[in-house]
Amino acid sequence: MSRAGATAGSAGNCLRGYSARMSDRPTIDVAVIMRRVYLDNRWQPWRWELVDVVPAQAAFGSGARLLREDATEQRWLFPGFQAALFRDDAEGYHLNLSSPAPCWFVHWRLDEASGDDGHALARPVDVSLSYHDAGRWLDAQENVDQVPAPEEVRAWAQAFVDEHYVAEPKRRRRPDSFRPLTDRFGNPASVSTDKDRRGGGAGQPPGHAPAAAPGGRHGG
């Protein structure tokens, strides 16, 4: 077995409770749990929060489902998500896993239409372990929440990072003295250490005597 195959196998074995496919694009099936918390605020009577990202189960079905409701909150289950690992985003997983608190990132949006109770659902759109994914969503002013990633998921992603992530060498900064000189318009500039000799020789090359004027005066 190749090193890649061995790494994928060991990563897959650590994912207890998850449905995983180990290939060039390892994937696990997950579901997202969101909750709507009621607030004692006339201007904002409730808010949505991410509760957890859990292993998918066949019993979850395929559609959003209300898990529970009481005077303080509603909890909703959203199945049918896949968390995939891409080779060209190995750095994004590395940045997440090397942080003090590696986590799941969940990108969600409010439904445009309200439900039967007059409120719109906060519906997950994407689930990722990539720091770069989260950054792109936030840059687009989307809703992004995070919850801690469990140990088995971190180990699965870390095996992928160990196989595919190559840190870029740090570029040595070029000293300012080696940078080309430019004028205030950005054009190449030069510096001369010679000084013009003022007086009659102004405008002449350094060290050049001024030429005698024709018809100069003679003694007598």
Q: Position 5: which residue type? A: G
Q: What is the mean pLDDT of residues 176-200?
A: 55
Looking at residue 158, its pLDDT comes to 97
Looking at residue 182, its pLDDT comes to 61
Q: Position 93: which residue type? A: Y
* Domain locations along the chain: 3-164
pLDDT for 56 beyond 80: yes
Q: What is the pLDDT of residues 86-99, one digit of tens each?
A: 999 999 999 999 99
Taken in order 47, 49, 51, 54, the sign of the CA dihedral is: positive
Looking at residue 169, its pLDDT comes to 75
H or E stretch covering 12: helix 3-13
**What pTM does this model have?**
0.70
| Strands in the chain per DSSP E | 20-21, 27-38, 46-55, 65-69, 73-84, 103-110, 122-128, 143-148
Spatial CB neighbours of 165, under 8 Å, sequence gap ≥ 6: 90, 91, 93, 94
Q: What is the mean pLDDT of residues 37-41?
A: 87
- Collapse the DSSP code of 147 into the 3-class scheme (helix H, G, I; strand E, B; otherwise coil) and give the result: strand
Count CB-CB contacts under 10 A for residue 156. Answer: 26
Spatial distance between the Cα atoms of 123 and 134, rounded to a whole number of angstroms:
16
Q: What is the pLDDT of residues 115-173, one digit of tens each?
A: 666 678 999 999 999 999 999 999 999 999 999 999 999 999 999 999 999 987 776 66
Residue 76, CA atoms < 13 Å, CB-side half-sphere:
18
Residue 46, CA atoms < 13 Å, CB-side half-sphere:
18
Looking at residue 7, its pLDDT comes to 47
Q: Which residues pair with 37 in a beta bridge?
A: 47, 73
